[in-house]
Amino acid sequence: MANIFQNITDWWNGKTPLTGNLYNQAAYSFMNGQTAQYDYNSGTYLEKGFGSNPDVYSIITQQSNKVKSIPYYVKKVADKTSKSQYDRLKIATKGNYSTEQLARKKILETKAFDEKELPFPLDEPNPNQTWTEIFALYQVYLKTTGNVYFYLLSPSEGNNAGKPTEFYILPSHLVKIVLRKDADMIQAESVISHYMLIEGSQYIEFSEENVIHIKYPNPFFSLDGSHLYGLSPIRAALRNLESSNDALNHNVKMMKNGGVFGFITSADTNVPFTPEQAVQIKEKLMEMDSSPGRLSRIAGAATPIQFTKLSLDTNELKQFDFLAYDQKTFCNVLGWSDKLLNNDESLTYDNLQNERKRVIIDTINPDLVLLADALNKDFIPRFKGYENCEIEWDITELPEMQEDYAKMVEWLNNAPVTPNEFRQALKYETLEDEGMNVVWLPAGKKRIDDAGMTDTEINKSWDLIQK
């Protein structure tokens, strides 16, 4: 076991060189037939995408920074009926709550869970990382490779058998899923034998029960088990990734070469340059280009000369138009907005705020739901005292969602709820004061059990009876 963690530590510290994952290249061979020259595998998505393309890097980094800033908590389920209603409301709204739904969600939350929050089971995941790093890397690997693998180190014997002592995130692009020898894809039990981390000629095996695998859905079924891997969003934009990287490389090449290339010839077709004159002109141009002085870049010629261009310049290639198109494509497949990438086209404060809120609801929240579901199923219950407990990320506490929060407070102020339900919805402690568990009417905040008919209303009722 010590060798396993020595290898993992060495990998994180950069002591072991990374190599291509040959298995992924084979597993995803069914994705060929495209025009992209890049290989369709997880290593390409990570290295050519996140590691080399500034747009992909910016999009995923913004997402990972947002993920690690969202507060989370662990609570024990107190009422299964309320918890079921709470879950159905979250699924139906996808986190995009109306004012009334947000208030209802807060109230259901207070009924579904115990008021007291529990500390996270492990203070730190492992000696080399924090939980903030783990959750940020979760988003990076999920968006680049479509897969996330968590390894739980736990003793196999003794009183703490099965209780995780350390928590690692494995490099998704280097992980192989090994099938059982008699694996049948159409059966009730798992077909996975174990997981394997491959680094060049080295490999480390991880038992299935100690690995949590989170992935995006993959519709490409295969009897060799390739559908057991998540489908990377970048796969659909691989041609755009290659196009964008090529455009950036071409732009750098043009800047280094000083522009387009071609031939200098005599403007007088009757007096062509001799080979010796052509060499002299080239040497003179090289001399002029190597000197920083302005006057050194001016030279005379005995005959009229002209330049014949053989390549297109950056403006003629329109590569920046294609770069903008590729950027929009990356935003589309990764669930982001180009307005958040310093794209000021038709940008206003209002639509910027709307886009910030939209990407949290449409992208960040669903990815965190995947994470919470996996941890609630295979991580949290392994700790003593955390049975029937769940972890949840609360996007309503983000600055982008505070407008909805303010509307919810206004709605609650006029809704038929008790003061303690109001306080619980705001995550304040309840009070045992008299009247805090009784509904108050909005008008003058009168208690509902103190509200009675006025003299005027009594007289009107008597008149109606007399008639």
Nearest to 58 by CA among 353, 333, 324, 341: 341
Q: Which of 304, 320, 336 is the last residue of a domain?
A: 320
Clarify whether residues 136 and 7 are in a common domain. yes
Clarify whether residues 80 and 222 are in a common domain. yes
Clarify whether residues 248 and 227 are in a common domain. no
421-450 confidence digits (pLDDT tens): 788 777 777 888 878 888 876 655 555 555
Using the predicted structure, report yes or no on whether residue 23 has a pLDDT greater than 50.
Answer: no
Which residue type is seen at 203?
Y
Clarify whether residues 119 and 263 are in a common domain. no
Clarify whether residues 90 and 22 are in a common domain. yes
What integer pLDDT is reported at residue 29 of this predicted model? 40
Clarify whether residues 136 and 67 are in a common domain. yes
Structural domain contains residue 126: yes
381-410 confidence digits (pLDDT tens): 999 999 999 999 988 888 887 777 777 788
Q: Which of 237, 260, 288 is the last residue of a domain?
A: 237
Clarify whether residues 229 and 247 are in a common domain. no
Total domains present in the chain: 2
218-229 confidence digits (pLDDT tens): 999 888 888 999
Distance of CA 65 to CAs 60, 120, 275, 361, Å?
Answer: 9, 20, 61, 15
Clarify whether residues 195 and 303 are in a common domain. no
Clarify whether residues 231 and 244 are in a common domain. no
Cα angle 49, 55, 58 (rounded to 5 degrees) comes to 95
The band of 462, judged by pLDDT with boundaries at 50, 70 and 90, is low
Asked if 269 contacts 258 with a C-beta cutoff of 8 angstroms, the reply is no
Q: How many residues are given for the chain?
A: 467
Q: Which of 303, 320, 337 is the last residue of a domain?
A: 320
Using the predicted structure, report yes or no on whether residue 175 has a pLDDT greater than 50.
Answer: yes
Cα angle 161, 165, 167 (rounded to 5 degrees) comes to 125
| Domain around 175 | 2-237
Clarify whether residues 90 and 173 are in a common domain. yes
Structural domain contains residue 194: yes
Structural domain contains residue 151: yes
Structural domain contains residue 325: no
120: buried, middle or exposed (CB in 10 Å: 19+, 13-18, 0-12)? middle
Clarify whether residues 202 and 261 are in a common domain. no
174: buried, middle or exposed (CB in 10 Å: 19+, 13-18, 0-12)? buried
Clarify whether residues 198 and 314 are in a common domain. no
Q: Specify the DSSP element, H or E, that contains 194.
A: strand 192-199
Higher pLDDT, 388 or 91: 388
